[in-house]
Structure 1
Amino acid sequence: MFAFVQPAQAATGFYVENGRLYDANSNEFIMRGVSHPHTWFPNETDAFAGIKSHGANTVRVVLSSGDRWTRNDASDVANVVSECKANQLICVLEVHDTTGYGEESEAATLDQAVDYWESIQSAIEGEEEYILINIGNEPYGNDEATYSSWASDTSDAINRLRDAGFEHTLVVDAPNWGQDWSYTMRDNAETVYNSDPTGNTMLSIHMYGVFDTASAVSSYLNSFVDRGLPIMIGEFGHNHSDGDPAEDAIMSNAESLGVGYIGWSWSGNSGGVDYLDMVNDFNANSLTSWGERIFYGANGIDETAVEASVYDGVDPTPTDDPTDDPTDEPTDEPTDEPTDEPTDDPTTPPAGGCSAEYSLVNQWGSGFQAEITVTAGDSDISGWQVDWTFTNGESINSLWNANVTSSGSDITTTNKSYNGDVSAGQSTSFGFTASGTNETPSLSCSAS
């Protein structure tokens, strides 16, 4: 058995060691998630909450570099990352334009994918605790004249990103439409992994018709695990145009080997592969048979997913001494504690209320992105409202995970149907992008 051990990481985010992926708290993280076709359905942002509601700890987000489909700019990518964080999902961002290079005339190269990552670097820098970068989806088809350069091209892409200052865990897909039937990735895995000076790269196999038997699945995954190389299943399905994948074996082997998996895909499939939708019409409450299988079947997501420990502090469990929990702020803001003044408002539930905290996520020349965290007091709430007034001429462009109304500079936000119920001491959050220069406003939170 070979072991590829990297020095202990000083990085602030995910890192690979001994063939395993660890989060920023040095806890092993095993991905259990699904892909979401964001670039083709940019308005379906409720998908993130839906994916989380079925137990996933990871979402793989389809982006476009603009070489083949409509480009997702830095602002949009920042929104995506905020959605992932708001729903306590780890975000694997991937460029889809590289799919099938060598066979697809419009497909982009890995070099072009790196150009894209560099162009949106400002949106993902500092988010290494929450996201991984999947450099390019299925970057080569079945043309040997092109896929034979997979190892050198992939190594070059890794080094370009490292030279540009990217510290994220990188994910590299296999050639042959991701399925590596030629064993190009398997046989060159050490070379590519060792080309990363930080040792922070995951190798990703896509399992469809090539992996139609339990033995094919087992032998491929074990060839990496036995060598101490970091492998993940970046895509798989229960059926496909090129054959019938052995999804039961894929999921059971992933569980027994401690390998992460990401199924394809949440919704929106077309071209005769709509059977790969996990929910009907992006409705989280309408699971298809594939959705039932991957979320609630044997070795499924709900049964095996463990949320990333980097989110442990987001929804803290109240301690025995409430003064130890600064999110409740009972001593700094006594007006948030209605039990202190029971005669002023006898209809207010005892020890209820909420607080809201504003944080700047990102900013650029003409605008910024912010996030607001709503925390219940020491009593459960069933709804919330956060109000504020912009004082610097700011105006909201887009907002997610809340309803919003505005009157001039006065902003009112209320909960969505899925995030109004907040247990005592727990939190939920929403985000927005805005035009103008950020100035932190004073927030008012009320609860029901």
Structure 2
Amino acid sequence: MSPSPSRPGPVADVAARRSRATAATAAVTAATLLAAAAAAYVAAAPPAQADTPPGIHVSDGRIVEADGTDLVLRGVNHAHTWYTHTTDSFADIKEAGANSVRVVLSSGDQWTRNSPEDVANVVDLCEENRLVCVLEVHDTTGYGDQYAPDAATLDQAVDYWEDLYPTLAGKEDFVMVNIGNEPMGNDDATNETWAAETSAAIQRMRSIGYEHALVVDAPNWGQDWKNYMRPAAAGVFAADPDANTVFSIHMYSVYNQPQTITDYLEFFVDNGLPIIVGEFGWQQTPADVDEDVVLSEAERLDLGWLAWSWSGNTDPYLDMVLSFDPATPSAWGTRIVDGPQGLKATAVEAAWFGGGGEPTEEPTEEPTEEPTEEPADDACTATLRVAGSWPGGWQGELTVTAGDAAITGWEASFTVPGSTVNNLWGGVHTTDASGVHVTNAAWNGSLAADGSTTAGFIATGTAPSSAPAVTCVAD
């Protein structure tokens, strides 16, 4: 599978991710300096406007709709700007259970500019598919960092939004504007300007006429691991004359410990500041992300999230579906769509579209009978395929399918000579002299007759040239 454009680009993506993973081990900027900067900014900020903005807006630290209905974003990111032909993805994302989609756009500073006509079509697709549309400019990714020499400033992003204003005016009920993606990298001098630059961008957006809920990303490649956004957030929020700004944190390798996730999200909740997890994955090369805690804490605190990403990543382990085909979900996609605290379990359609009810429907009837016999030895089958490969490593995907009767647990076994399986998700694995053994996770062991689930993994070594044989046993 040949690499394709991703975030922030085929070459820069790897370098940027390495930079972020390395930077996460560095010392945090002195708390006293941050506190002083934040206090100074709060003092200088103008008072917030009392009038309630139209459409989606912030109320008492929460995101709500025009009628005051709570709006909890539960959706995915879609790399539209690099794959403008994949317009069917909007319907597919809705079918997966999402109530929102964060759409990647380009201002033309790093990638091909999305025209007003193209953006108007995106907005129409969101409305047709009853999705809250979070539009973002990706060209600001990593500004000031050595790995993003061509990144645009937030002010340049606002130039683009100014051109789009006639297209987006009046769409406040279901469109949110994410001014710039991950607007600064890891350069300290640049990051120290984050509060001032972000506030200036917000105020300029308001002067243009935007009444939409605005979303602002954290610096440090969106992860704020040096805590520039957290102490300055109150001042930035106060700088918005409409008091209608939402903060977005991106959770990748910095967020591999439960307490780190909890502490960051609770700070905003405790201080009455609106926050969403605008991006997160299950892994950021080469480090793990505690995605289960991201999901469970977002559910506990009633916060929104948008998983990265539907498809088209240079590193395919982040694809939720392969080649934009919803019929071939990855284990990551299965986790987000069908797993605990996932889309089907928690996403509620926006009330403006006529939603506002429960998430996915429950079965109308309980099973009337228990199985009269234990499953036979062929109660399940399993297959293994190579989802992607690179020098020295590869990604595998295991698919387990129940037989003619429902099962409550499974174990699949296979051998991959010359390779070592690491970082498996969607199951629990052990390795011994006879091969690799994968048992189900707590959430995907029970399968209906003919039902299937997937598990995935990253392996070191050379990918097998043909699919290894897999045995499967079930309870």
TM range (shorter): 0.5 to 0.7
**Equivalent of 1:99 in 141, 145, 148:** 141
- 2:185 pairs with 1:141: yes
Residues 44 and 282 in structure 1, CA contact (< 8 A), matched pair in contact too: yes
Aligned to 1:214: 258
Distance, in Å, in 2 between the alignment partners of 1:168 and 1:14 is 7
Using the size of structure 2 for normalisation, the TM-score is 0.64
* Structure 1 residues 305-327: Cα deviation after superposition (integer angstroms, max 9, x where no partner): 0000000189xxxxxxxxxxxxx
- 2:113 pairs with 1:71: yes
Distance, in Å, in 2 between the alignment partners of 1:285 and 1:131 is 28
* Structure 1 residues 87-115: Cα deviation after superposition (integer angstroms, max 9, x where no partner): 00000000000000011111000000000
Q: Give the gaps of 5 or more residues in structure 2.
A: 1-46, 357-475
Aligned to 1:400: none
Residues 52 and 242 in structure 2, CA contact (< 8 A), matched pair in contact too: no
* SS of residue paired to 1:154: helix
**Using a 3 Å threshold, how does the CA distance of structure 1 residues 309 and 109 change in structure 2: closer, same or farther?**
same
**Using a 3 Å threshold, how does the CA distance of structure 1 residues 185 and 88 change in structure 2: closer, same or farther?**
same
Residues 267 and 282 in structure 1, CA contact (< 8 A), matched pair in contact too: yes
Distance, in Å, in 1 between the alignment partners of 2:187 and 2:50 is 39
Instruction: Using the TM superposition, give the Cα deviation of residue 9 of structure 1 relative to its aligned residue in structure 2, in angstroms.
Output: 4.9
Aligned to 1:39: 81
Distance, in Å, in 1 between the alignment partners of 2:137 and 2:193 is 19
* SS of residue paired to 1:39: helix
Aligned to 1:441: none
* Structure 1 residues 313-356: Cα deviation after superposition (integer angstroms, max 9, x where no partner): 89xxxxxxxxxxxxxxxxxxxxxxxxxxxxxxxxxxxxxxxxxx
- 2:324 pairs with 1:282: yes
Distance, in Å, in 1 between the alignment partners of 2:279 and 2:312 is 16
Query: Match for 2:127: what amino acid?
Result: K
Distance, in Å, in 1 between the alignment partners of 2:177 and 2:329 is 28
Q: Give the gaps of 5 or more residues in structure 1.
A: 315-448
Residues 50 and 242 in structure 2, CA contact (< 8 A), matched pair in contact too: no
Aligned to 2:214: 170
Distance, in Å, in 2 between the alignment partners of 1:238 and 1:302 is 18
**Equivalent of 2:276 in 232, 238, 241:** 232
**Equivalent of 1:187 in 205, 228, 231:** 231
Residues 53 and 242 in structure 2, CA contact (< 8 A), matched pair in contact too: no
* SS of residue paired to 1:286: strand
The alignment covers a number of residue pairs equal to 308
Residues 80 and 86 in structure 2, CA contact (< 8 A), matched pair in contact too: yes
Distance, in Å, in 2 between the alignment partners of 1:12 and 1:157 is 20
Using the size of structure 1 for normalisation, the TM-score is 0.67
Instruction: Using the TM superposition, give the Cα deviation of residue 284 of structure 1 relative to its aligned residue in structure 2, in angstroms.
Output: 1.4
- 2:275 pairs with 1:223: no
Query: Match for 1:43: what amino acid?
Result: H
* SS of residue paired to 2:260: helix
- 2:338 pairs with 1:296: yes
Aligned to 2:453: none
Distance, in Å, in 1 between the alignment partners of 2:355 and 2:331 is 35
Instruction: Using the TM superposition, give the Cα deviation of residue 63 of structure 1 relative to its aligned residue in structure 2, in angstroms.
Output: 0.0
* Structure 1 residues 236-293: Cα deviation after superposition (integer angstroms, max 9, x where no partner): 00011152110000000000001100000000001xx210000011011211000000
Distance, in Å, in 1 between the alignment partners of 2:135 and 2:51 is 22
Instruction: Using the TM superposition, give the Cα deviation of residue 26 of structure 1 relative to its aligned residue in structure 2, in angstroms.
Output: 1.4
Residues 208 and 242 in structure 1, CA contact (< 8 A), matched pair in contact too: no
Query: Match for 2:188: what amino acid?
Result: E
**Equivalent of 1:53 in 67, 78, 95:** 95
* Structure 1 residues 133-164: Cα deviation after superposition (integer angstroms, max 9, x where no partner): 00000000001011110000000000000011
Instruction: Using the TM superposition, give the Cα deviation of residue 7 of structure 1 relative to its aligned residue in structure 2, in angstroms.
Output: 7.2
Distance, in Å, in 2 between the alignment partners of 1:8 and 1:275 is 46
Query: Match for 2:293: what amino acid?
Result: A
Distance, in Å, in 1 between the alignment partners of 2:126 and 2:186 is 34
Distance, in Å, in 2 between the alignment partners of 1:182 and 1:87 is 38
Distance, in Å, in 2 between the alignment partners of 1:269 and 1:113 is 23
Alignment of 1:35-434 (within 5 A): 35-103=77-145, 104-270=148-314, 273-312=315-354
Query: Match for 2:116: what amino acid?
Result: A
Residues 56 and 89 in structure 1, CA contact (< 8 A), matched pair in contact too: yes
Q: Which runs of 4+ in 1 moved over 3 A?
A: 5-10
* Structure 1 residues 31-61: Cα deviation after superposition (integer angstroms, max 9, x where no partner): 0000000000000000000000010000000
Residues 6 and 17 in structure 1, CA contact (< 8 A), matched pair in contact too: no
Query: Match for 2:137: what amino acid?
Result: V
Distance, in Å, in 2 between the alignment partners of 1:44 and 1:228 is 38
Distance, in Å, in 1 between the alignment partners of 2:287 and 2:131 is 31
* Structure 1 residues 392-440: Cα deviation after superposition (integer angstroms, max 9, x where no partner): xxxxxxxxxxxxxxxxxxxxxxxxxxxxxxxxxxxxxxxxxxxxxxxxx
Query: Match for 2:353: what amino acid?
Result: Y
**Using a 3 Å threshold, how does the CA distance of structure 1 residues 7 and 110 change in structure 2: closer, same or farther?**
closer
* SS of residue paired to 1:293: helix
